[in-house]
Chain A
Amino acid sequence: MHPISRAALRPYICASCRYGIGASRRRFGTKPDQTPDIYDVVCVGGGPAGLGLLAALRASPITSKLKVALVESQDLNKAQAWNMPSDQFSNRVSSLTPSSASFLRKIGAWEHLDTNRVQEYQEMQVWDGETGSRISFDWSMETPPFEDMRTVATMTENLNLVRALLGRIAASGDQGLTLFSNTTVASIENGSDLQASGPDLSAWPVLSVKPTGPGSETKGISRIAARLLVGADGINSPVRSFADIPTQGWDYNRHGIVATLALADLDTPPFPANLRTAYQRFLPALGGPIALLPLPNNHATLVWSTTPENAAYLKSLSPSAFLAMVNAAFRLSMTDLKYMMGIERSEQTSHEDELAWHVQHTSLPSQTPPLATAVQQGTVASFPLRFRHAAQYISPRVALVGDAAHVIHPLAGQGLNLGLADVAALSRTIEYAVSHGMDIGDLLTLERYSSERYLPNAKIGGACDLLHKMYTIPGQGPITWARSLGLDVIDKLPFVKSFLMKNAEGH
């Protein structure tokens, strides 16, 4: 009787309130759930952009005291232990412009890079497969005689770069640094006002992060509040969705094929001996350009933008047939190429024979890349090409960098460079804010970053889009004539060319 009467006398509490009380009691037993760990910068995404930001913040004496965290779903220890024989190369390679390289030098990450695996090139040959008009980019017009030619760009494996950035971050010590490796973001929501017991976090993003698997170092779900939440989490950025920032863009209906190739020696050795050249040929009939970018020890990385059907066809070929197609793509006419793209596996004739036969009847331009002789096993892969641009890069306590903010066509090799430029600008902004007592998550702070980066990114992304669209028009129409005239004229006007190159370099 006693308990029943007590229950009857007890004031009524509805189920949800009771659940609320009980929940708070349960929390008390473990970690008080109301107070998240407070960080100055939480970066979601441990790619080159996210790690670059962290390394830059750790390198600056002004921002090195900030409490920073990085959340990455992959295993960062594995990325730091990455290793590969010196005659093999990963197929995810980026070309770093001189301004990206100087940023990496400034933050002390360059010395952590395995420089035996990076390749500078001083010259770039670009030509139109339809008309043969060509342009060569180099710094010869600004290089005095007897001096080495300036670098146009440096080819680096992304894994090498990621390892270097992780090495730089590790060298900065672990004070105020938390790496949530093997961890995903379960949710992002606004915090709450802690009333008498603490600050008002109702306008702060609070992340619940949880380990992805048993190998993770983070135990259980932890809650972290971010003064500034940086989205370096790629094209489908969860941080961007949290901030409710829309993106504009389209899919190109093209795939980029990548592969690591071994090259034959050039017929005429380069002069000077250390001169390396990158080659890009636009193939309007096949839907995009093919590019061969130099790697050390006479290797090269291939990036071939083409239609999904062609990409699927190329990936289905045997290594020798694939090589024949690559060599053909730099040499044969559009008609021959289209024919070779359709050869059935069952047919008598092979790609190699076709190439050998057609090459005899094609007049080759003076600057043809060396023959590709071997394709590294397991490196042929493809990815869809897309264009995206976020409506804005910032929102209160949120900043987007890299692919979360913009994804562009890879024909100029600028994607990673734009991401690193974002990170350089954001770290400068944070530096300025810290030294002037500003809140680094405040819109007034972040607008410095977005005003510095939004237009340059839109400009480069738009230029790549325009080039893609101009060079996917096949045949001999007026646009073909105009683009070839344009290329020929620019090639003969050194100041226009150097203006374009300086733009591409990131000045």
Chain B
Amino acid sequence: MASLRTRSLPLHALRTAPTATRPSSFLRQISPLPATKPGNPSTLRWHSTSSVSPDELSHFSALASSWWDPMGPSRILHLFNPLRHEFIATCLADSPPPAIQDPTFNTANLHYLDIGCGGGIFAESLARTIPLDPSAASPTPTRAASMTAVDPSPTLIQIARDHGRMDPTVESHLRSGKLRYLNTTLEDVLFTSTPETPAQFDMVTLFEVIEHIDPTTTTPQAFLANCLRALKPGGWLIGSTIARTFPSWILNQVIAEAPWPIGVVPRGTHEWSKFVNPPELKSWAQEGLMRAADTATTRGGARDLEGMRWKCVGTVYVPGLGWKIVPGSEDWGNYFWAVQKSV
């Protein structure tokens, strides 16, 4: 049963119902369809599950046309984006990955993977900081040399590519391959990894994703383990999500998704029960680090956690003032978290 739930399912669902916001019952009805994808022989997957939730996919695809509208439903996400850069900068300042540890060189050396890039809000902004001349000093502390962004929604990937073309800098990175938008899943990225070209990155980012994965096909632990598999030793897995607490229910469900003019997030964006608390996330990350260290013959253990670093800091949105990083506010709702893999 689970093996049928592959990437072709949401594609199919999208084509049949492109504007449906939450056609969950409809999707469940058609889910036993055979997972065949004409013209693509790679429908056989080594993994049994995709982390992509069809409900979530259709919800965000329906927002596609307004994804880049600064006053549209994704406005709150756009306002949040600069803080992601700041949080990454603090992680790198705490413990730089091996690629940028040499203090004599200030070049952009970090290769990023953005999972669940959506319309490319974060991926595009990071791509803009990639210097056109690779030998030049990096203009920002994020030190990006390349960005690979994946999302399961073909609509959103197309939106991201089209929007990228509207900026000559981003367009030239798209052309040179320093910025890649792939309509695929994390599982496929790992699947295409070969010993010669390992699909491993210095930095993996997971912004506003973990609360949207499909709990019926995968677990957050398994998904995080896959994220950590994509990470080079010494690299950071950085994400943001929302805590599952009473204040967060009030803030994110009751207030943020309230009708206009109070609400700032489209209705149905979040499901409170899928939210993740920081201690849960930390334990999943530890579990994930050990599973990522598994090989065909051995299993990862406590030694794989020795060099691990964990960071977590809350963020608060104040209408009129915008987003602020507020240490200690992790339990109120939105927070950043980061795991560094041991070298």
Interface residue ranges, A against B (CB under 8 Å)? 38, 62, 65, 198-204, 227, 432, 434-439, 442-444, 447
Check if A436 sits within 8 Å of B70, measured CB to CB. Answer: no
Other CB < 8 Å A-B pairs besides A202-B166, A437-B128, 7 of them? A199-B166, A199-B171, A435-B85, A436-B82, A437-B129, A437-B142, A443-B70
Q: Which residues of A contact B127 (CB under 8 A)?
A: 437
A507 and B167 alpha carbons, distance in the complex (Å): 37
* A439 CB contacts on chain B under 8 angstroms: 128, 167
What residues on B are CB-neighbors of A443 within 8 Å? Answer: 70-71
B167→A444 contact, CB < 8 A: no
- Name the contact of B125 in the complex, choosing from A199, A227, A437 (C-beta under 8 A): A437
Which residues of chain A are near B79, meaning CB under 8 Å?
444
Chain B residues within an 8 Å CB radius of A199:
165-168, 171-172
B86 on interface, CB distance cutoff 8 Å: yes
Q: In the docked arrangement, what's the CA distance between A202 and B171, Å? A: 14
| Residue of chain A at shortest CB distance from B162 | A200
A204 to B171, CA, bound (A): 14
Check A65–B166 contact: CB distance below 8 A. no
CB contact between A432 and one of B78, B81, B82, B129 (< 8 Å): that residue? B82
How near does chain A come to B250, taking the closest CB pair, in angstroms?
Answer: 27
20 contacts between A and B (CB under 8 A): A198-B171, A199-B165, A199-B172, A200-B171, A201-B166, A203-B166, A204-B166, A435-B85, A435-B140, A436-B82, A436-B85, A437-B81, A437-B82, A437-B126, A437-B127, A437-B128, A437-B142, A438-B82, A438-B125, A444-B78
- Inter-chain contact A436/B139, CB cutoff 8 Å: no
Contact between B166 and A62, CB atoms less than 8 A apart: no
Whose C-beta in chain B lies nearest to the C-beta of A195?
Answer: B165
Task: Give the CA-CA distance A199 to B173 in the complex, in Å.
Answer: 11
Question: Helix, strand, loop or mixed for chain B's interface?
Answer: helix
In whole angstroms, what is the CA distance A199 to B166 when docked?
6
Find out whether the CB atom of A436 lies under 8 angstroms from the CB atom of B171: no
Question: Which residue on chain A has the smallest CB distance to residue B171?
Answer: A199
- Chain B residues numbered 150-201 whose CB sits less than 8 Å from any CB in chain A: 162, 165-168, 171-172
CA distance A444 to B322 in the complex (A): 12
A435–B81 CA distance with the chains assembled, in angstroms: 12
- Across chains A and B, the number of contacting residue pairs, with CB separation under 8 Å, is 57
Give Cα A501 to B124, complex, Å: 45
Q: Taking the nearest CB of chain B, how far is it from the CB of A266, in angstroms?
A: 51
B165 (CB) vs chain A CBs: closest residue: A200
Measured CB to CB, the closest approach of chain A to B167, in angstroms, equals 6
Residues from chain A with a CB closer than 8 A to the CB of B126 are: 437
Residues of A within 8 A of B167 (CB): 199, 227, 439
Given A65-B139, A444-B70, A444-B78, do A436 and B86 touch, yes or no (CB 8 Å)?
Answer: yes
Using C-beta atoms within 8 Å of the partner chain, give the interface range for chain B: 20 to 34
CB-based contact A437/B85 at 8 Å:
yes
Residues of B with C-beta under 8 A to A200: 162, 165-166, 171
Taking the nearest CB of chain A, how far is it from the CB of B262, in angstroms?
A: 20
- Write out the residue numbers on chain B whose beta carbons fall within 8 Å of the beta carbon of A204: 166
| A-binding residues in B (CB < 8 A) | 70-71, 78-79, 81-82, 85-86, 124-129, 139-140, 142, 162, 165-168, 171-172
For the complex, what is the distance from the CA of A447 to the CA of B81, rounded to whole Å? Answer: 15
- By a CB distance below 8 angstroms, the chain B residues around A442 are 70
A198 partner, pick from B78, B139, B168, beta carbons under 8 A: B168
Complex Cα distance, B70 from A31, in Å, reads 36
- Which residue on chain A has the smallest CB distance to residue B131? A65
A199 to B170 Cα, complex, angstroms: 9
Return A444 CB to nearest CB of chain B, in Å. Answer: 5
Shortest C-beta distance, A293 to chain B (Å), equals 39
Residues of B within 8 A of A62 (CB): 139
For A447, give the chain B residue with the smallest CB separation: B70
Chain A residues whose CB sits within 8 angstroms of the CB of B129 once the complex forms: 437
Whole-angstrom CA separation of A436 from B162 in the bound complex: 21
Alpha-carbon distance between A432 and B78 when the two chains are bound, in angstroms: 14
Q: Is the beta-carbon distance between B168 and A437 smaller than 8 angstroms?
A: no
- Give 7 nearest A-B pairs by CB, closest first: A437-B125, A199-B171, A436-B82, A199-B168, A443-B70, A200-B165, A437-B129
- Between A199, A200, A203, the greatest number of chain B beta carbons within 10 A of the residue's beta carbon is seen for A199
Q: In the complex, A200 Cα to B86 Cα: how many Å? A: 29
CA distance in complex: A438, B139 (Å)? 13
Please indicate the chain B residues that have their CB under 8 angstroms from the CB of A198 in the complex. Answer: 168, 171
With both beta carbons as reference points, the residue of chain A lying nearest to B75 in the complex is identified as A444
The docked-state distance in angstroms from the alpha carbon of A447 to that of B126 is 20
Residues of A within 8 A of B140 (CB): 434-437
Q: How far is the CA of A435 from the CA of B142 in the complex (A)?
A: 9
B320 and chain A: residue at smallest CB distance: A451
| Cα separation A199 to B168 with both chains bound (whole Å) | 5
- Chain A residues lying within 8 Å of B124, measured Cβ to Cβ, are 437
Among A435, A437, A442, residue most surrounded by chain B Cβ atoms (within 10 Å)? A437
| Inter-chain contacts of B142 with A (CB < 8 A) | 437
How far, in Å, is B174 (CB) from chain A's closest CB?
A: 9
CA of A201 to CA of B70, assembled, Å: 18
Shortest C-beta distance, A280 to chain B (Å), equals 37
- Is the beta-carbon distance between B125 and A38 smaller than 8 angstroms? no
Chain B residues, CB < 8 A from A436: 81-82, 85-86, 125, 140
A-chain residues with CB within 8 Å of residue B81 when the two chains form the complex: 436-438
- Complex alpha-carbon distance, A38 and B169, angstroms: 10
CA–CA, A437 to B78, complex, Å?
A: 12
A434 interface neighbour in B71, B139, B168, B171, Cβ under 8 Å:
B139
Central interface residue in B81, B86, B126, B139, by most chain A CB within 10 Å: B139
Expressed in whole angstroms, the minimum distance between the Cβ of A292 and any Cβ of chain B is 43
User: In the bound complex, how far is the Cα of B120 from the Cα of A177, in angstroms?
Assistant: 31
Contact partners of A434 in chain B: CB under 8 A: 139-140
Tell me the complex Cα distance, A33–B167, Å. Answer: 19
A62 → B minimal CB distance (Å): 7
Question: A435: nearest residue on chain B (CB-CB)?
Answer: B140
Max count, chain B CB within 10 A of own CB: residue among A200, A204, A227, A443: A200
For the complex, give the distance between the alpha carbons of A280 and B69 in Å: 50
Q: Which residue in chain B gives the minimum CB-CB distance to A63?
A: B139
Closest B residue to A436 by beta carbon equals: B82
**A438 partner residues in chain B, CB cutoff 8 A:** 81-82, 125, 128
User: When chains A and B are docked, how far (Å) is the Cα of A134 from the Cα of B81?
Assistant: 53
CB distance from B38 to the nearest CB of A (A): 28
- B166: which A residues are within 8 A, CB to CB? 199-204
Give CA–CA (A201, B171) in the complex, Å: 11
- Distance to closest chain B CB from A175 (angstroms): 13
Closest to B129 in A: A437
Report the minimal beta-carbon distance from A49 to chain B, rounded to whole angstroms.
Answer: 25
Closest to B71 in A: A443
The residue of chain B having its C-beta at the shortest distance from the C-beta of A40 within the complex is B169
Q: How far is the CA of A203 from the CA of B166 in the complex (A)?
A: 8
How far in angstroms is the closest Cβ of chain B from A470? 32
Tell me the complex Cα distance, A27–B126, Å: 37
A38, A432, A435, A447: which contacts B168 (Cβ < 8 A)? A38
Which of A227, A444, A447 has the most chain B CB within a 10 Å cutoff?
Answer: A444
| Nearest residue, chain B, Cβ from A443 | B70
What residue of chain B has the Cβ atom nearest to residue A61's Cβ?
A: B139
CB-nearest residue of chain A to B89: A435
Q: Which residues of B contact A201 (CB under 8 A)?
A: 166, 168
**B69 → A minimal CB distance (Å):** 9
- Inter-chain CA distance A38–B78, complex, in Å, is 25
